[in-house]
Structure 1
């Protein structure tokens, strides 16, 4: 399937690459790296485009921020969710916590090897760095706490491997969809997580939105408008700028303003001396 998809993508690059400059291989993966390399070697120099991927990622917040087990469980929630695919793309391998937990549970189940596949050194090198930008699909947040699950073969799954429980705050605005609560601050924390974990990549928000909580016969989008406003404002609170961009946008204007102010004060001083 990887080769078939690569052939399809290569045809798209050939036919549409003179007009399309931003490509997303998958909205929620799974066969990305080969297509990135195809574009990089055959089309990038000519078409000057970018190839990324779109990954889903909700934020996980510890129930008790003073409890180390809850903190670690919240980290696992995000690593098993977003990191499952982002970490190989940016660092060449699965998150260490996934390898540790799934490997240990596989041993407890009497398996000879981990249920999580392993990358060969060649595969790690091939996958790492295959992302010109990262698309993020984000909607909501969960509170996370430690919860141990048994390691029997019949009960093993992606969800039990994580050893955690997901909770919601009843005070969070409820849009009507049982899984989707409006938690804007979680969006900012997820963006900062991506910035820290993956070297401040270019980010495009490829999915974000909310259902309407009541049936309407006329236009009644107040809830959705508020959701977007809150999430966008949280994103703007913490600009994901590099150090040099901050120097350009903040320090330089401030120095210029102070220079003008000091010059004006000095000029006033000279005029007074003459008078």
Structure 2
């Protein structure tokens, strides 16, 4: 199928490449590297366009920011979601955590090799760097906690990850049961991509929210709020993000430490007094 798709893509480049300058090989892909190489070799110098890919990913936030297990589970959630396809493009291979967990579960299930395919050295070199931009589809966020699943449950993408997805009942929930409005998760996902993949050019290819009510006239204030929240998070500068981190993580941590130190000092004073 890769060769057939490559032929189809080359026909598109030939017929429309003089006008179309941005190409997305797949939306939620399985394979696409050959098409990028075809464009790079045959069409780029003539048409001066770009070829990328569009990946969907939610953000995973640890339930307990003081729990190393929850922190690691939240990163696993994103690596299994986004990294599954982004990591080979930017690093040449699947995420290490994905290889480790799928390999471990495969061994526990009595399999001689991992259920996750292995790239050859040539494939790694061929795939790495085959994207001029990253198309990103993002809608919502989940809280994540660590949970160990038995390998006896059988092979499953969901149990391989050893985690549980949760939502905050306070999050606004529009028309779809899975979609909650969590704008700050969008910003954190963008920062993750910037750090993880070397600050690639990003185009938001999908974002939005489903209908909540059937109306005979315009009544989409909730949609306006959703889009406003997500666009504002995208527009924030690095200083704002840093200040958010200070407000949400550093300040509570320092406050907790101050309470603990005060309690310890009070205990010493009471003992000394007695």
Q: Is the pair's TM-score, using the shorter chain for normalization, greater than 0.5? A: yes
1:98-154 superposed Cα distances (whole Å, 9 cap, x missing partner) = 0000001111111000000000000000000001000000000000000111102x5
State the Cα deviation string for residues 135-192 of structure 1 (Å, max 9, x = none): 000000000000111102x522000000000000000001031100000000000000
> Matched residue of 2:151: which SS?
coil
In 2, Cα distance between the equivalents of 1:121 and 1:192? 30
Q: Distance in 1 between matches of 2:223 and 2:42?
A: 42
1:47-66 aligned at under 5 Å gives the runs 47-66=47-66
1:5 aligns with 2:2: no
Partner residue in 2 for 1:166: 165
Residue 238 of structure 1 and its aligned partner are, at CA, apart by 3.0
1:239 Cα deviation from its structure 2 partner: 5.5
Indicate the residue corresponding to 1:198 in structure 2: 197
Structure-1 separation of matches of 2:196 and 2:123: 21
Q: Tell which deviates more after alignment, 96-105 or 215-224.
A: 215-224
Note the C-alpha offset of 1:40.
0.2
**Separation in 2 of the partners of 1:63 and 1:134?**
28
Q: Where does 1:116-265 land on structure 2 (aligned, <5 Å)?
A: 116-152=116-152, 155-238=154-237
Q: Distance in 2 between matches of 1:24 and 1:184?
A: 25
Q: TM-score, normalised by structure 2?
A: 0.86
Distance 1:97 1:15 in 2: 42
Alpha-carbon distance change, 214 to 25 in structure 1, aligned in 2, over 3 angstroms: same
Could you give the per-residue CA deviations for residues 245-267 of structure 1, whole angstroms, max 9, x where no partner exists?
A: xxxxxxxxxxxxxxxxxxxxxxx
- What's 1:82 paired with? 82
Whose radius of gyration is greater, 1 or 2?
A: 1
- Following superposition, the deviation at residue 196 of structure 1 comes to 0.2
Superposition deviation, residue 30 in structure 1: 1.5
Task: Name stretches of at least 5 consecutive residues in structure 1 with no aligned partner.
Answer: 241-275
Which ranges in structure 2 are unaligned for 5 or more consecutive residues?
A: 240-274
What's the Cα RMSD here?
1.0
| Number of residues of Structure 1 aligned to a counterpart in Structure 2 | 239
How many Å separate the matches in 1 of 2:15 and 2:27?
A: 21
- Deviates further, 166-175 or 154-163: 154-163
Alpha-carbon separation, structure 2, partners of 1:169 and 1:105: 30
| Match of residue 31 from structure 1 | 31
Whether the 8 Å contact between 1:188 and 1:238 is mirrored in structure 2 is no
Whether contact under 8 Å (1:144, 1:165) holds in the other structure is yes
Checking the alignment, whether the CA contact within 8 Å between 1:58 and 1:78 is kept in structure 2 is yes
**Does the CA contact (< 8 Å) of 1:55 and 1:137 recur in 2?**
yes
Is the contact between residue 60 and residue 74 of structure 2 (CA under 8 Å) also seen in structure 1? Answer: yes
Establish whether residue 110 from structure 1 lines up as the match of residue 98 from structure 2. Answer: no
Counterpart Cα distance in 2 of 1:123 and 1:97:
20
Q: CA contact under 8 A between 1:210 and 1:224: conserved in structure 2?
A: yes
Q: 1:257 — aligned with what? A: none
